[in-house]
Structures are given as structure tokens and as C-alpha cells.
Amino acid sequence: MKGREELERILARIDGKGYKAYKDIQGSYLFDTYILHIDHVQGDPFAAPSRLRVRVDQRHARIPAEFYNTPARRVACADFLTRSFARAIEEVAGGSRGTGKSGLIAIDRCGQEILERTAMVVTDEYVEARIVLGLPARGRTVLGKEARAMLFEELPAIVEASLLYKSIDGKSLRKHVEVKEDQVYLRSKLPEYQLAAFIADGSVLPRESGISDRPLRGEGVVPFVSPPELAVEITLPNAGPVKGMGIPQGVTLIVGGGYHGKSTLLRALERGVYDHIPGDGRELVVTLSTAVKIRAEDGRRVEKVDISPFINNLPNQQDTVDFSTPNASGSTSQAANIMEALEVGAKVLLMDEDTSATNFMIRDVRMQQLVAKEKEPITPFIDRVRQLWLELGVSTVLVLGGSGDYFDVADTIIMMDTYRPRQVTELAKEIAREFGTGRLSEGGGKFGRIKERSPLPRGLDPSRGGKTKIQARGLHTIQYGNWDIDLSGLEQLVDASQTRAIGEIIHYAARKYINGRATLRQVLEQVEGDIENKGLDIISPYYGQNPGDFARPRLLEVAAAINRLRSLSVR
């Protein structure tokens, strides 16, 4: 281990030299309270910034073990410190110090969720921040003094202000950890109460805007209140007893007039598979972690998916047991999305009329009379939704303001009325008896077994022009070798660092487990096991160094990305 003086000497020596001279600072240096690892030095001031790690010994950090001594607490504690570090950067860092990224100091950005990330690691021995830094230059000339200011003044001040227990707000840290722990606990309790989801009274569901995930504020916000018939009380380890609306497993319908808050409720349920930060408004909105938002997604590719429970006898004689298409329609894409989700373990389907294909959802009696069953390839969802529940134990929560035909197949009906839920099951059932639909059920027989597919290695090569090319662009696109994977249909993907992780996980799975025999589900469960045992770093090509910015995605989103890869082939 070199002393910090050594780093100072090198910086003085390379001052004014060409940018490549920065390579000399790669290595590890002992500072007063931490070790600075300079793992990777950028090639020029415009390239991706240099990757560093700051490892603070717990003798100095002194984070109490009670904040990280369980998996949930550890994730919450790391998340808190990541935010703390980011805030300190804003307060301390001086901004641009020259050309391109010169002067930049950054750590992965956290949103409203508390996610497991590679940006921060907390153990009994140390706290380690994985950061990037733009080594300063004018043109391509090393600015040694500016680098010295960044590494010897700014960075120590940031570390001092954000990673040492004595400088952080212990109360906020405790709150962060407790809120996370309560959510994990609450979600784990849902099966015992036979619930698919729970929404605590007082929750704030609407968001600031279509592009902001922060809570809506102001006079007009109506906090959530459970209807008495669906109220459940659950006692949490930290918050104590909380009351709220339990959405039972089975088939649940959310009805109500336009603009009364139906989709807002469903979106909160979609996000309820994640834990939220204190003050988000959804800290006690939890959904079973196997809940999947299903929507129509026309144009997507489908590779040998058994969509036959929903679609049969296509006019071109096309096979629907091994259905493939480069360009799915609204209904076939929605059918494929369901079957693929079931294949990897989805137990709750979340659907909204706003994003569903009408002909997939319903075929009413008049249409049944005009277009004979033999001429209609689609068995609408209304005729399968109960089979999904009774045969496979798969629940559905469905937003539907436009058709009362679903009254017949629902177990629970919730009406949103100016953002307030009412339980209207009996009322709706009475209406259903009085006004029969006359519809014939078309779902004869059984839903049937869910087919599992085994991906072949050949479709999963990430090379392009002889080099491995895996790159996420924003939240919704991954370039994987020669292909772009379009993830814009995945509404439960919430963080660009998850998108980055998915790209690497596909490659990791392809290298280690995809062999043409293992099913997609087996492969992804093995990957999950590896992440569980060895940490999220394991997916990175830079394991052992600063691994890059990754946040843990669900297995379900990884599967969805693989399913959307245009080169995928399966057995």
C-alpha cells in the first residue's frame, strides 16, 4: 500500500504532461481515514470518467451494526449512505475544472425506491463507496494541481461529511432502515392474510407528474382510506399496528368513472414490489413480489411462446403453441406477456384497460352472435381469469371502467370515487344478476400447464465487431451485441442502474448457465442464488474493483428483457 504522499508526488510529476500520464496514478493509497483505490483511469477527458473506490474502515466510519445486521437493513443503510454521499458532493464539489468531464465527482443516483446497489457496500470491516471522477485536464494536458485539489481536498471533505457516523443524521438513518424493514416484513405477511397487496391508510398514491416519481403535494391530494369491508390491521416490527386496505388474492376489479384515480391506484400496486423511502407516500403500499404488470405491446418480438390458452386457429394456420413473430399484434403481445410472466413465476397479474388490447379483454354477446367462435382466434381474458386463479393460483387485479361483463368473474370489486375506494362487490353482483350479459363463456376446458422454454446459447452472444458490447441507454434500451433490446413496455423497471444490470446479467447467465437444457426459470434462479451469496458485484466484468453502477432488478424483468432480445432462440 502506498502512502498518500506518493500520489501527491505523481500528480506533481505529471502536471502539464499528456493525459495518458494519468495512468500512473492507478493503484491504492492510504489516507487518514480511508483507502483510496484508483481502479481505472479514463483515456481522455471526454471518455467515461475514472472509477475509484473509497474504503473507510469501520474504526473510523463507526456505523452501528444494528443498521446493517440483516439483509434488508444492510440494503437500506447502503442506500442511505449513497444518498448522503451524493448530497455531500453537491455541497462540496467545485464543478467543472477544465475540459470535458474534468472536475466531476459522482455516485449512482437513487430515486424513490430503496434498491440494492453496487455503489455502496457496508460490512463489519468497512464502508466502501464506488464513485467516478473526471480527472482534470485543459485540452489533453494534465492539470495536476486541480487533480490534487479534487483528491486531497474535495474527496476527503465529502467522505468526512457523508460516511462517518458522527457526521450523519443518525435519526434519519434509523428511520430509513426501519421503514425499509417494515416494508419487507409487510410484504412477507401478505400470504398469511391471503392478500395480493396492502395499501395503508394515509398513503399518498398520486405522483407529481408523468415524468416525476415524487409524491403529489398540496391541497388537492386525497390520502388513501380503506373501505371498512376491506380494512386489515397488520402489526409491523417498527411502526407497530397499521391499518389499510387489503386486496385479496383472486380476481379483483377496480372500477369507477374516468379520472377518479383507478390507474393511479394500479400504478402504486405495480411499484409496491419495491420498497420506498420515508416521505414517498407509498412506504406502506406493498404488493407480492411476483406481481407483474401486463400490457399490450404491439411490435415486440415473440419467440416460441405457448399463447394457445388465449389464441388459437389463426387464419394463416400459424402455430400458437410455439408462437413466434417479429412483430406481435396488441392481443398476441398481451397474451405472450402473460405466458412469459407465468413461465418465470408470476403470481399476480396487474392490468389496466388504458394499456390493454380491447379484443384481448372482452367479446360481448352481440359480437359473439355476429362473429362465430370458430372465426375468432382469441379467447378473451374474461374467460381465462378465473381458471388462472382456480387452477394456477394466479391472482389478477384489473382496472376496468368500460365493461361490466367482468362483474361475473370477479371476487372483489372496488370502485374509485373521487380518489376514495369503496367496496361494491355485492352491489355489482346484484346488478349482474338483474342485467345478465347473455354472453357465452368461451374458455372451455382448462387453462392448462405452463410450458417452460430453454434458451439456446447462440442467440445470446454480446459481441459486435469482435468486441463485447453491452450498453444500457437510459431506462428503456439495452444494446446487446448487434441488437437493441426495447424495454419500454416494462413498467416495473424503475431505475437505469437496473437496466445496466440486466444487460450484464444476461451475459453472466449466458456464460454460466445457458446451455440449451436449463430452462429460463432455472437459469435465472441460479443467477439469483449467485447474487444472494456473493453480492450484486458478481455480475460485473470488473469484479474486485469498482464494478460500475448497478441496481438489482427482479428476475421477472431480466426474463422480460431476454424475451425481447431479437436474436433469442429457444428449444
Positions touching ligand ADP (CB under 6 A) are 205-206, 216, 220-222, 256, 258-264, 416, 419
**Residue 320 vs 412, nearer CB to ligand ADP:** 412
For residue 120, the SS3 value is strand
Q: Which is nearer to ligand ADP, 256 or 459 (CB)?
A: 256
Question: Whole-angstrom Cα distance, residue 102 to residue 192?
Answer: 54
Task: State the minimum distance, in angstroms, from the CB of residue 245 to Mg ion.
Answer: 19
Residue 426 touches Mg ion, criterion: CB under 5 A:
no
Q: How far is CA 121 from the centre of its chain?
A: 20
> x/- string (CB under 5 A) for Mg ion, residues 271-310?
----------------------------------------
Q: Distance between CA 12 and CA 18 in Å, rounded? A: 13
Q: Put residue 62 in one of left, alpha, beta given phi > 0 → left and psi -120 to 50 → alpha.
A: left
d(CA 560, CA 346): 12
Distance CA 241, CA 143 (A): 58
The least distance separating ligand ADP from the CB of residue 139, rounded to whole angstroms, comes to 49
Check binding of 563 to Mg ion (CB under 5 A).
no
Q: Which does 259 bind (CB under 5 to 8 A by kind): ligand ADP, Mg ion, none?
A: ligand ADP
- Whole-angstrom Cα distance, residue 223 to residue 282? 11
Establish if 91 lies at the interface with Mg ion (CB under 5 A).
no
What is the rounded distance in angstroms from the CA atom of residue 414 to the CA atom of residue 254? 5
Residue 259 or 435 with smaller CB distance to ligand ADP? 259
Q: Using CB distances below 5 to 8 A depending on partner kind, what does residue 355 bind out of ligand ADP, Mg ion, none?
A: none
Among 263, 331, 355, 396, binds Mg ion (CB under 5 A): 263
Query: Whole-number minimum distance, CB 474 to ligand ADP, in Å?
Result: 24
Q: How far is the CB of 193 from ligand ADP (least distance, A)?
A: 24
Quick one: which of 524, 185, 474, 571 has its CA closest to 341? 524
Closer to ligand ADP by CB, 237 or 257: give it: 257
Binder of residue 264, out of Mg ion, ligand ADP, none (CB less than 5 to 8 A by kind)? ligand ADP
CB of 190 to ligand ADP, least distance (A): 23
Q: Angle at CA 402, nearest 5°, toward 400 and 408? A: 65
255 Cβ partners below 8 Å, 6+ apart?
Answer: 262, 400, 401, 413, 414, 415, 416, 424, 428
| Grid cell listed for 212 | 416525476
Backbone φ and ψ of 484, nearest 5°: -100, 130
Contact 300, 331 (CB under 8 A): no
Stretch that binds Mg ion, among 137-145, 268-276, 353-361, 563-571 (CB under 5 A): 353-361
| 550/463 Cα distance (integer angstroms) | 21
C-alpha–C-alpha distance, residues 71 and 78, integer Å: 11
354 binds Mg ion (CB under 5 A): yes
Measured CA to CA, the distance from residue 134 to residue 119 in angstroms comes to: 17
Q: How far is the CB of 353 from Mg ion (least distance, A)?
A: 7
Measured from the CB of residue 422, what is the shortest distance to ligand ADP in angstroms? 14
Q: Which three cell numbers stand for residue 473?
A: 441507454
Q: Which residue lies nearer to ligand ADP by CB, 222 or 371?
A: 222
The DSSP call for residue 276 is B
Q: Which stretch binds Mg ion (CB under 5 A): 30-38, 179-187, 233-241, 354-362?
A: 354-362
262 or 439, CB closer to Mg ion? Answer: 262
If binding is defined by CB under 5 A, does position 355 make contact with Mg ion?
no
* Partner whose binding site includes residue 414, from ligand ADP, Mg ion, none (CB under 5 to 8 Å by kind): none
Least Å distance, CB 266 to Mg ion, is: 8
222/427 with CB nearer ligand ADP: 222
Residue 540 neighbours by CB distance under 10 Å? 20
- Residue closer to Mg ion by CB (options 121, 413) is 413
Cell numbers representing residue 364 in the block: 360481448
Instruction: Give the CA-trace dihedral at 483, 489, 493, 499, to 10 degrees.
Output: 10
320 close to 307: Cβ distance less than 8 angstroms: yes
Shortest separation between residue 246's beta carbon and Mg ion, angstroms: 22
The region of 245-253, 348-356, 365-373, 457-465 touching Mg ion under the rule CB under 5 A is 348-356
Give the nearest residue (CB) to Mg ion.
Answer: 263
Which residues, 6+ apart, have CB-to-CB distance to 127 below 8 Å? Answer: 55, 56, 58, 61, 63, 81, 120, 121, 163
258 binds, options Mg ion, ligand ADP, none, Cβ within 5 to 8 A by partner type? ligand ADP
DSSP state of 351: E
Nearer to ligand ADP, 256 or 548 (CB): 256
Distance of CA 14 to the CA centre of its chain: 43
Residue count of the chain, please give it. Answer: 571
Please report how close the Cβ of residue 222 comes to ligand ADP at its closest, in angstroms: 4
CB of 267 to ligand ADP, least distance (A): 7
Whichever of 81 and 199 has its CB closer to ligand ADP, that residue is: 199
- For residue 509, the minimal CB distance to ligand ADP (Å) is 37
List residues binding Mg ion (CB under 5 A): 263, 354
